[in-house]
Amino acid sequence: MKIVDWQTKVDVPKKMIFKIGDYLIDEVRDKYALDLSFKEIDSIAEQIVDIAKIRYK
């Protein structure tokens, strides 16, 4: 399923940040025993979505 104009919708980027954060916790932080706080993970996830918004304008 493809979502059109996802950048302008409020709920889609929030869901993306949540899912990216979960992935970073499960597959990166825990798997490689990295010392990342939830605040750092949220920041990384937000930056990823911000980059995606710029790239897919």
Q: Which residues 6+ apart lie within 8 Å of 25 measured at CB?
A: 41
Token couple for 4: 């059109």
User: What global pTM score does this model have?
Assistant: 0.85
Domains of the chain by residue range: 6-55
Q: Is the per-residue pLDDT at 1 higher than 80? A: no
Q: Which residues 6+ apart lie within 8 Å of 49 measured at CB?
A: 13, 16, 17, 20
More confident residue, 3 or 8: 8
The pLDDT confidence band at residue 48, using thresholds 50, 70 and 90, is: very high
Cβ-based burial of 45 (10 A; exposed 0-12, middle 13-18, buried ≥19): buried
Segment 34-47 shows an average pLDDT of 97
Q: Is the per-residue pLDDT at 45 higher than 90? A: yes
Helices within 1-57 (DSSP H only): 11-23, 38-55
